[in-house]
Amino acid sequence: MFKVLLDKDFVNELKQDAEDAIIKERRKYEDIILFILEFAKQNKALISNIDLLLDKHDYWNIVQVLTLNVDEMAKNLVSKLCKQFDQLFLLKIFEADHEYYIEYNLRRICVLNAIKPYKTFTLFDFISPIKYIINDSISIYLLPYLVEVIHMYNNLYDPAAAGSWEETLSDIKKIETFVDKEIEELLTMPKEDILLKLSTSGGNAKAAASVDKLIKAKCKCKNIRKAKLFDIKRLVMDFLKDSEYIFCNEYDTFMIYSDKDDKRSDLYSTTIRVISKDINADFALLVNYLSKFMEYGISYRKKVLYLPKEQRLEKYNFYIEIPYVKNIKQKRFLTVFNNLSYELVNFYEKDGFKFADPIIQLRFAYLSIWSSIIMQKTHGLHYEEFIELIKNKKHQIRELRSKVDIYELKKNYIGTYISLDISKKMSMTNTNTKSNFYCHDF
């Protein structure tokens, strides 16, 4: 029986019929979708849609909107939808994730996510969107290629998305052609133009970094009062060797560890970057280890990534507090990401260190470029430092692309896999902050 079905290509025909039915059903809501897109344009919100960027868009499954004032915009949008169409709209709010869903006839048609603002910056101050025209009439603003490719690489090592890895990788290669052009434009643009392009009216070169959390501890110590920052990095590398920490980048790691006299070693681009699970445990272990060698203070700060669509990724910078003649200066020496707390990370080992799979290294290489662009806008990175980082990452990306293999059997994993849907349910259960609003509520 099954042989007959396969011979007659029954499965493919069934899939095609189902796809046709889905497309027909989705297109019933086209007027509502266009209304949402027009509203997003008027409110200068961003839209995430990779299919539009690739010119292969066929229908809207769901509209993903990103904005600063998400609560105000979501409630205002639902109110207008109820007045324009009928009373069957429902707004669901998950406050813990700053996520808002709009449903119509029990079908989810729109999701709105918050982007955390930087001081008085507008959304377009630090995100340069791509203008796209829908139906020759509605101009919408799409997330830039660089942001989308970071998210796509995340899907490329998500076990739950393994069935679509081939299609995802194909789309990534197309998106990367545009990302390459953007990177090349940054490298070839005159210094004056690039500073003008990356500066904003809300920027402040001397502004302190956004801080969500600051914890300090003093190392009880024995020696190395005047140790160089590079020597501290070497101590940290010894601490990380033969451990469960996974390095985000192989190239920068060995630049620090193997070449003590390299003047580039203290550049922004060579900060040690690792993936971990529990930041509090990391801090305690690191302080305990370094206190055997020095007496400098250590602190860490949770940094805002300003990365749309990334709800769980967290970044922490570690600083050494070095005393000078009149004050104490903080020097960053380590960055820790929390990926292992919610996803599985494949790795390979080399010289006692664990390095993330090239797919994951690529994601973090693009993330470094994105972060440097944001820092240039908000804090005024030195031009030479900025260009050096972009050049380094461009070279690393070119090398890593040749090592991407989605067919290789992955054996070495560390972490805990929690799907995004499960994570949201856990968050809702722990905080009890889900709310529902119907049309009559407005």
* Whether 184 contacts 196, CB under 8 Å: no
421 part of a folded domain: no
CB proximity list for 7: less than 8 A, separation 6 or greater: none
Q: Which residues contact 138 (CB under 8 A, 6 or more apart)?
A: 34, 37, 38, 41
pLDDT at residue 203 in the model: 42
Q: Is position 171 within any domain?
A: no
Q: Is 176 among the domain residues? A: no
Q: What mean pLDDT, rounded, does the chain reach?
A: 82
Q: Mark whether 109 and 230 lie in a shared domain.
A: no
Same domain, 432 and 390: no
For residue 305, tell me if it sits in a domain: yes
pTM of the model as a whole: 0.86
Query: Do 233 and 272 lie in a common domain?
Result: yes
Confidence of residue 256 (pLDDT cuts 50, 70, 90): low
Residue in the structure block whose two tokens are 């868009």? 57
222/362 same-domain check: yes
Question: Cα separation of 203 and 180, whole Å?
Answer: 26
Question: How remote is the C-alpha of 9 from its chain's centroid?
Answer: 41
- Report if residue 1 sits inside a domain: no
Range of the domain at 32: 11-143+428-441
How is residue 219 annotated by DSSP? P
Same domain? For 45 and 84 the reply is: yes
Q: Do 229 and 82 have their domain in common?
A: no
Query: Does 405 share its domain with 437?
Result: no
Residues 120 and 261 in one domain: no
Half-sphere exposure of 264 toward its Cβ, with a 13 Å CA cutoff?
17
- For residue 21, is it within any domain? yes
Could you tell me if 391 and 433 lie in one domain?
A: no
For residue range 125-168, list pLDDT tens digits in order: 878 899 999 888 889 999 999 999 999 999 999 988 999 999 99
Determine the pLDDT at residue 122. 84
pLDDT score recorded for residue 254: 62
pLDDT tens for 215-240 read 445 444 333 344 467 788 888 999 99
% residues pLDDT > 90 (the chain) = 48
Q: What is the CATH number of the domain that holds 59?
A: 3.30.460.60
Q: Residues 402-428: pLDDT tens digits?
A: 999 999 888 899 999 998 878 877 766
- The token pair that represents 225 in the structure block: 């009062």
Structure tokens at 422: 């499960």
Decide if pLDDT at 202 tops 80.
no
Q: How many domains does the chain have?
A: 2
Q: Starting at the edge strand that comes first in sequence, how are the strands of the sheet with 63-67 ordered?
A: 130-134, 138-142, 46-48, 63-67, 107-114, 99-104, 89-94, 434-438
- Is 267 in the same domain as 371? yes
CB contact set of 59 (below 8 Å; sequence gap of 6+): 23, 26, 27
The answer to whether position 204 is within a domain reads yes
Residue 436 included in any domain:
yes
Say if CB 166 and CB 406 are below 8 A apart: yes
pLDDT of 262: 47
**406 plus 434 within the same structural domain:** no
Claim to verify: residue 248 and residue 397 sit in the same structural domain: yes
